[in-house]
């Protein structure tokens, strides 16, 4: 077994990243390719170099820090997460997975333990969808789910495309084609993350081993009714776009509650009314739908029923609607060999664990398209995340890092392939 992880190193790096923050008075805000995010990139790369790692970026900004193995012909082992945040977030989401990877390779390097395979710490570009409305830009590009043409379509609030921003920052459009990884290019990938739920904390268990990752399906629904005077139009003559949207939201909630899936969620997150005036019946309502499930079959069934019920509500209320699909991603079952390996490492270190389904999705969802993948969770205080109150004890992160480090070393010493991934 390796030496124990140093929680002070972990705290130093997390606090170091947190200095690059657009809203220090209220949580942490570090949006893709803004000044704080770009400065944090340079900080992370420099800290990786101090560990003796070889650092490079690809042409969407994924950062790769490599601890070389003895046989460069073998596919590497990956770990890592992301360094961007949502607005007014906490300082642990994503960053924990990057610094735990850095501490893990430090332990492996200082141990002198031989390993034929390279071990790579990855900081994936923009796991959060904050700037361009699409999550996991870096890992999507690695899996082939984000193309150069897609970057010409994705725009931020100013109307500037991701393509233009990449060119401005010096990333190569010619190099974009070399980003994609295929099966066999990466031997295995393990991501450590805060749980973003309270199951571990409530159970008093330090380690969660993820067996499935839910995948999102996102829709924009436009409801067109009849705008009118709030006092002048009687209740029976109304075609209220917002009232219809509310009924649709409640129908969606009921569908999700009654869904037979092992784990699913459905959320109406954004609502926009036109004209949005206190004394005007809304003539238009635009709202978003976020559906997540660990099973594609049950998710598709729920989506089909949602569309059917939305159309029926529209017909009943005399409103018209459109339902636009933004994405419909496929859930991931983590690699069984790697789940068993994580369990073994927990048992060797005397750490209790439990298997979990991840409702939030992570870069691992897309990495799992081309490599056997697993995830570790460490507890989140009160289950809070995407909030300034987000907190995970540094010693808890260190215990998770102990499991991660020994798992990475074991994987990097393997020559025989892992079991085939589930499609």
Query: Is residue 418 assigned to a domain?
Result: no
Cβ atoms < 10 Å from Cβ of 170: 8
Residues 135 and 205 occupy one common structural domain: yes
Write out the residue range of the structural domain in which residue 226 sits: 216-328
- d(C-alpha 335, C-alpha 322), whole Å: 38
Query: SS3 of 255, please?
Result: helix
Residue 1 counted as domain residue: no
In angstroms, the CA 287 to CA 243 distance is: 12
Taking the alpha carbons of 355, 15, 387, 289 in that order, is the dihedral positive or negative? Answer: negative
Q: Check: CB of residue 369 under 8 Å from CB of residue 143.
A: yes
Whether 30 and 172 map to the same domain: the answer is yes
The reply to whether 112 and 141 lie within a common domain is yes
User: pTM of the full predicted structure?
Assistant: 0.93
Assess whether 358 and 286 both reside in one domain: no
Both 277 and 359 in a single domain?
A: no
For the chain, the farthest-separated pair of C-alpha atoms sits apart, in whole angstroms, at 80
Q: Are residues 39 and 128 both part of a single domain?
A: yes
Nearest C-alpha neighbor of 189 from the set 213, 205, 172, 207: 213
Are 227 and 280 a contacting pair, CB within 8 Å?
yes
**CA geometry: angle at 157 spanning 156 and 161, to 5°?**
30
Residue 24 lies in a domain: yes
Q: At 83, which CATH number?
A: 3.40.630.10
Domain-terminating residue out of 307, 328, 349: 328
- What local confidence, expressed as pLDDT, does residue 422 receive? 46
Cβ atoms of 335 and 419 within 8 Å: the answer is yes
In the listed set 284, 301, 328, which residue is the last one of a domain according to the structure? 328
Tokens of 1: 């077994």
User: Domain for residue 419, yes or no?
Assistant: no
335 shares a domain with 324: no
Same-domain check for residues 129 and 181: yes
Helix axes 394-412, 336-348, angle to 10 degrees: 120
- Residue 269 sits in a domain of what CATH number? 3.30.70.360
- Examine residue 278 and state whether it is found in any structural domain, yes or no: yes
Last residue of a domain, one of 299, 328, 357: 328
What pairs with residue 208 in β-bridges?
354, 377
Distance from C-alpha of 33 to C-alpha of 47, rounded to nearest angstrom? 19
CA-based torsion, 420, 421, 422, 423: positive or negative? negative
Domain count, the chain: 2
For residue 420, the model assigns a pLDDT of 57
For 312-332, the DSSP string reads HHHHHHT-EEEEEEEEEPPPE
Please tell me whether residues 120 and 198 are part of one structural domain. yes
Q: Are 125 and 161 part of one and the same domain?
A: yes
131 in any annotated domain? yes
pLDDT string in tens for the chain (423-residue length): 899 999 999 999 999 999 999 999 999 999 999 999 999 999 999 999 999 999 999 999 999 999 999 999 999 999 999 999 999 999 999 999 999 999 999 999 999 999 999 999 999 999 999 999 999 999 999 999 999 999 999 999 999 999 999 999 999 999 999 999 999 999 999 999 999 999 999 999 999 999 999 999 999 999 999 999 999 999 999 999 999 999 999 999 999 999 999 999 999 999 999 999 999 999 999 999 999 999 999 999 999 999 999 999 999 999 999 999 999 999 999 999 999 999 999 999 999 999 999 999 999 999 999 999 999 999 999 999 999 999 999 999 999 999 999 999 999 999 988 875 444
Kindly state whether residues 189 and 240 are assigned to the same domain. Answer: no
The 3-state DSSP class for residue 189 equals: strand
CA–CA separation, 136 and 184 (whole Å): 21
Residue 418: predicted pLDDT: 85
**27 and 168 co-located in one domain:** yes
């Amino acid at each position: 077994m390796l030496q124990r992880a140093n929680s002070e190193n972990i705290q130093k790096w997390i606090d170091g990243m947190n200095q690059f923050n657009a809203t220090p008075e209220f949580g942490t805000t570090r949006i893709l390719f803004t000044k704080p995010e770009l400065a944090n990139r340079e900080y992370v790369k420099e800290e990786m170099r101090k560990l003796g790692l070889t650092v490079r970026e690809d042409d969407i900004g994924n950062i790769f820090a490599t601890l070389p193995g003895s046989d460069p012909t073998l596919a590497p082992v990956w770990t890592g997460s992301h360094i961007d945040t949502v607005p007014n977030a906490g300082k642990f989401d994503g960053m924990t997975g990057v610094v735990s990877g850095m501490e893990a390779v430090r332990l492996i390097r200082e141990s002198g333990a031989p390993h034929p395979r390279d071990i790579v710490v990855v900081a994936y570009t923009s796991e959060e969808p904050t700037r361009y409305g699409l999550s996991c830009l870096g890992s999507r590009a690695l899996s082939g789910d984000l193309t150069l043409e897609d970057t010409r379509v994705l725009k931020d609030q100013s109307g500037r495309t991701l393509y233009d921003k990449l060119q401005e920052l010096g990333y190569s459009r010619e190099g974009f084609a070399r980003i994609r990884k295929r099966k066999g290019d990466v031997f295995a990938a393990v991501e450590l993350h805060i749980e973003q739920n309270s199951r571990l904390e409530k159970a008093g268990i330090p380690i969660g081993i993820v067996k499935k990752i839910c995948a999102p399906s996102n829709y924009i629904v436009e409801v067109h009714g009849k705008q009118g005077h709030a006092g002048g139009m009687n209740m029976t003559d109304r075609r209220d776009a917002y009232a219809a949207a509310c009924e649709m939201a409640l129908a969606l909630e009921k569908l999700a509650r009654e869904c037979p899936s092992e784990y699913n969620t459905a959320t109406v997150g954004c609502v926009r009314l036109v004209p949005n005036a206190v004394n005007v019946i809304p003539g238009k309502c635009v709202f978003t739908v976020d559906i997540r499930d660990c099973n594609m079959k049950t998710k598709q069934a729920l989506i089909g029923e949602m569309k059917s019920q939305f159309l029926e509500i529209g017909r009943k209320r005399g409103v018209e609607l459109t339902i636009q699909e933004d994405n419909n991603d496929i859930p991931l079952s983590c690699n069984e060999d790697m789940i068993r390996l994580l369990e073994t490492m927990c048992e060797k270190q005397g750490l209790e664990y439990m298997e979990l389904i991840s409702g939030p999705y992570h870069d691992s969802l897309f990495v799992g398209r081309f490599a056997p993948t697993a995830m570790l969770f460490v507890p989140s205080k009160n289950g809070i995340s995407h909030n300034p109150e987000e907190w995970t004890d540094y010693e808890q992160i260190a215990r998770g890092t102990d499991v991660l480090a020994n798992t990475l070393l074991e994987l990097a010493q393997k020559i025989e392939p892992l079991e085939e991934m589930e499609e």
